[in-house]
Structure 1
Amino acid sequence: MRISAPAHPVRFAAATVTALTLAATAACSTSPAKSDAPAASSTAGKTVRVAAAESFWGSIAAQLGGEHAKVTNIISNPDADPHDYEPTAADGRTVADAQYVITNGIGYDAWADKLAAANPAPGRTALEVGDLVGVKEGGNPHQWYAPASVHQVVERITADYKKLDPADAAYFDQQKATFLAGALAPYDQLIDQIRTQYAGTPIGASESIATPLAEGLGLKLLTPEGLLDAVSEGTDPTAADKSAADAQISTKQIKVYLHNSQNDTPDIRAQVEAAKAQGIPVATVTETPDPANASFQDWQIAELRSIADALKQATGK
């Protein structure tokens, strides 16, 4: 199934690129992202400098890196739109200083590629999630909502850390084991629980952010793909797609409605109200972590619990 990339146009003027390139020569000081996983003991002293375009990937990178990674997230504000973010000179300095740059790709953060190109560094390692998971531009960019992709990113970040800092390879292996067995375990357990109990349950959604999540949970997403893409891209859905989605709500063809509260339109708000009026539970998801300081797993676990509660309410299971 074709899923279009989000299409809020990316604005990145040539003058901005030039300014960021010049800014790269300046000294800078940035704050590392806090790691939520307990650090393993280590005697080696290297710290890998990491720039993450978005905080959902940066949170994972910080926890896997522990005391041997200093992660700076470029976007961590829930009110910022990653699609059309305009980097600052400080962002340019962050990337210029980074040994490891993590971006989402798939057309989601094209500004980050331009930022890295404007601030080259010898020997820098780059991770573009889309390339890693085999989703090209034009595919669904919301891969942090795809459980399989999340696990691929965990493996890749650990492998990259070990290449950048071989002396601490055992430390990074231990960090990964701690993260998977501890911090990420409830996330994996909830996904398995929902898939086991509610596989095939028909649901609706406000936009394409729900597609990889529904696939990962084994739920049947009925909302027309055209509407999901249009809302994600900031365009108007067709009358036929809107009518079909409205009918799915009014006739209770869907059991639960997933609503991205950070990408709202009058039509979507009307669907949310219509779903509530029909007694269809509405579960809220967000594009980026909310609150901003939430770890990846705390943010996702809270959403998964909300989805599980909505499914239980709708099905009685």
Structure 2
Amino acid sequence: MARVLFLGGLGRSGTTLVERLLGELPGVCALGEVVHLWQRDLRDDERCGCGAKFSTCGFWRRVGALAFNGWHNVDVDRVHYLRAAVERTRHIPRLATAVEAPEEVHEYAEYYSRIYSAAHEVSGARIVVDSSKHSALAHVLRWSNDIDLRVVHVVRDARGVAYSWTKSVARPETDGAEHMTRYSPGRSALLWNAHNAAFGLLARRGVAVRRIRYEEFVSDPKMALAGIAEFAGVDLGASDLDFLYDGYADLKVGHSAAGNPMRFTVGRLTLRRDDAWVRSLPPRQRRLVGAVCAPMLRAYGYPLNTEVPSR
């Protein structure tokens, strides 16, 4: 049975940073956002985190051969159909309350379990990390008998997430021709509530879930990684966190299938808390997001009053 550490939360919450640092730990293999592999990699042949096209990356070629006897045997249209049928936020209540999941849920989960199992074998790692984030996918995966699922729920202040979604970020995989999705602050606030609540529901269904706050993770990454490693069942040695320095991490090449541009970073990665939203998110939008997300912000320990003092 493949042990999978699933990183969940709304996008722009810091999951890629958490994944990159986890990927440096012994016995851990970070796969990126596997949920996007079917389209971005199998169909569009975008670049792996190592820089090579997916079709030419040796790691992913071996995974595909072991999981499906070659990626050409994957019916991508079928995967897309199954995703639409079972892996949407609106399906979560049904997935969470069902006594038994429909056959399509098991079929969809099997595509992922095959990849996880093959990645385990190819990498030799004890644990694989999937940073797909999607709460509905986590609810699907919990039904698989072939996956030992553990979830790290990454939370960031909703106002910081909202500000990040307003920024225009080019996708390196497309040489700048495409940009990452953008949401209005109101839209991101609603999504923040929905996705984070879904992970709370997942925990109540018996899945092992550990919640971490992005702000605390960045402030003390060594302590945060040690806690996640213990949760995942990774035994750390005295030198296993030596890639972390004062204010930065030294990263090796990874094989992230999809994710934000940070997945291409090799070498020094600055570690600093991004609080630009405090002064850059317009007060009206800050108050809107704060009001919409107030109950959960309070539950997660975030202050509701973040007005910028006048100078």
TM-score between the two structures when normalised by the length of structure 2: 0.28
Structure with larger Rg:
1
TM-score between the two structures when normalised by the length of structure 1: 0.27
Higher relative contact order (CA 8 A, sep 6+): 2
